[in-house]
Structure 1
Amino acid sequence: METEVANVALAGAADMSPWALFMQADIVVKAVMIGLLFASIWSWAIIIERARRLKVIGKQTEAFENRFWKANSFEDIREAPGKAEHPATKVFAAAMSEWRRSTAGGKYDRVGLRTRLGGVMGVAIAREIDTLSDRLNILATIGSVSPFVGLFGTVWGIMRSFTSIAATQNTTLAVVAPGIAEALFATAMGLFAAIPAVIGYNRLLYGIGRVEGRLHNFAEEFQGELSRELETMAPKA
């Protein structure tokens, strides 16, 4: 009898692989595991896409700033097709558009023009940062909710294990272990989805903050250059 119990226990231990735990799980626990797996894939897709985008933006911004400060005039700055769609050029384009509209008639208010230039660049920066931050709320949600979803699967699996124990009147490890293992596997899945999402959220938030600071610095310096340009221009009567 003891040998038979040992054989059953060994057979149960052999089926403790993740796939076996998933296949033996209750339909509710399976749904939890599948949902957490998709959440993990989704978070990794967002992390990789945003990380690559921030890296490209950093390189494009550095190249644009180098070209900007070497240019003889603002009108000489041009971006090649396909390279103008990054935050620094959009901030520059917004400021130049306001500059041209305000100075086109020859009459302008220097103080008002400075205020408008600062305003349009601030709006352009806010719009770009909002676009970059678009999916961070998804990472925050996955990072905060996934452990609780995994815990729900664990509680449900343990309840099912206790129900099996009550039905079979058998408390041996061979009976208890599979249900407990699949329940704890749901918690592991929750942590598997949550930890990368939280780390990715914090790292991307830091990267976006650096982009925002760099854009604000560029806007301040550019506005200073435009202010000096205004001092050399005499409005027409």
Structure 2
Amino acid sequence: METEVLGAAAQAEYSMWSLFWRATIVVKIVMFMLLAASVWVWAVLLQKVAQFRLARRNAAKFDRRFWSGEPLDELHAEIGDSPSGASERIFSAAMSEWSRSHRDDGGLIPGAQSRIDRAMDVAIGRERDRLTSGLTFLATVGSVGPFVGLFGTVWGIMHAFTEIAAQQNTNLAVVAPGIAEALLATGLGLLAAIPAVVFYNKLTRDADRIVGSYEAFADEFATIISRQADAADVSRAA
């Protein structure tokens, strides 16, 4: 009997597919979840890389138009009600509030500067949410993935020891297949978690840099608006 068990263990395949196929249903579910999470992590990376690249391109394009010397009112009119990029949306939010803050006599309603600043802050907050959407998933996979894999390993080893007790054989050829199947779950957990952590840190840093450029633009634009408002007050006083 022992010879037959050892012979069967020696003939068993140890490829990843074979280990997966021989695992218990619970371990299979864990492995499938980790594989799906790993694929989704890479999908988030590709989507974010494309989104960040487009955001940088739109910001650079708008900066060239903004600093070209074109009157701000004309630039706002050209953008219209459908700004195509984040910088345009921030600019449009500020210009819309600037237009609404003028009285019929051309003067500014008190508190216009603070309202314009808040309008840009709200627009920047929305852009930050767009840039960071999906990053929470990466953080979750990075922190939870190893533990999910460890759960699959613990469950698989428990099942392996149950099989060992049933066969009453502790030979390594008998023990090894069950332990290998269990450890595969931990490997898949790390396979999902390590890229997730790396991508989360990289994408978070890139998102912060892009948002920082939006905030720098908002500060510069607020300075221009304040200068124009002060000039208008001086002209009316004269």
Same fold (TM over 0.5): yes
Which amino acid is the alignment partner of residue 34 of structure 2?
L
Work out the CA distance in 2 between the residues paired with 1:229 and 1:17: 71
1:53 and 2:75 correspond:
no
Give the number of equivalent residue pairs.
233
The 3 A distance-change label for structure 1 pair 113 and 81 is closer
Work out the CA distance in 1 between the residues paired with 2:222 and 2:175: 70
Which amino acid is the alignment partner of residue 137 of structure 1?
T
Contact 1:9/1:173, CA 8 A, preserved across alignment: no
Work out the CA distance in 2 between the residues paired with 1:4 and 1:167: 15
| RMSD of aligned alpha carbons | 2.3
Superimposed CA distance per residue, residues 81-109 of structure 1 (whole angstroms, 9 cap, x where no aligned partner): 98x33211110000000011112522324
Work out the CA distance in 1 between the residues paired with 2:3 and 2:46: 52
Which amino acid is the alignment partner of residue 113 of structure 2?
R
- Once the two structures are overlaid, the 10-residue window that deviates more, 65-74 or 24-33, is 65-74
Work out the CA distance in 1 between the residues paired with 2:41 and 2:113: 42
Percent of residue pairs identical = 47
Work out the CA distance in 2 between the residues paired with 1:97 and 1:150: 52
Which residue in 1 is equivalent to 2:174? 175
Measure how far apart 1:135 and its partner are: 1.7
1:141 and 2:140 correspond:
yes
- Once the two structures are overlaid, the 10-residue window that deviates more, 179-188 or 121-130, is 121-130
Work out the CA distance in 1 between the residues paired with 2:53 and 2:37: 24
Which residue in 2 is equivalent to 1:39? 37
Q: Which runs of 5+ in 2 are unaligned?
A: none
Work out the CA distance in 2 between the residues paired with 1:193 and 1:185: 12
Work out the CA distance in 2 between the residues paired with 1:72 and 1:79: 13
Which amino acid is the alignment partner of residue 139 of structure 1?
L
Which residue in 1 is equivalent to 2:218? 219
Work out the CA distance in 1 between the residues paired with 2:229 and 2:207: 32
Work out the CA distance in 1 between the residues paired with 2:5 and 2:44: 48
Superimposed CA distance per residue, residues 157-214 of structure 1 (whole angstroms, 9 cap, x where no aligned partner): 1111111111101111221111000100000010011111111111111011001110
- Once the two structures are overlaid, the 10-residue window that deviates more, 96-105 or 183-192, is 96-105
Measure how far apart 1:9 and its partner are: 4.7
Which amino acid is the alignment partner of residue 153 of structure 1?
G
1:88 and 2:98 correspond:
no
The 3 A distance-change label for structure 1 pair 23 and 81 is farther
Measure how far apart 1:46 and its partner are: 1.4
Contact 1:165/1:175, CA 8 A, preserved across alignment: yes
TM-score, normalising length from structure 2? Answer: 0.90
Work out the CA distance in 2 between the residues paired with 1:81 and 1:223: 21
Measure how far apart 1:222 and its partner are: 0.6
TM-score, normalising length from structure 1? Answer: 0.90
Measure how far apart 1:55 and its partner are: 1.0
Which residue in 2 is equivalent to 1:72? 70
Which residue in 1 is equivalent to 2:16? 18
1:161 and 2:160 correspond:
yes
Work out the CA distance in 1 between the residues paired with 2:80 and 2:8: 70
Superimposed CA distance per residue, residues 17-44 of structure 1 (whole angstroms, 9 cap, x where no aligned partner): 1100010000010010011111112222
Secondary structure of the 1:103 match is coil
Which amino acid is the alignment partner of residue 100 of structure 2?
R
Which amino acid is the alignment partner of residue 51 of structure 1?
V
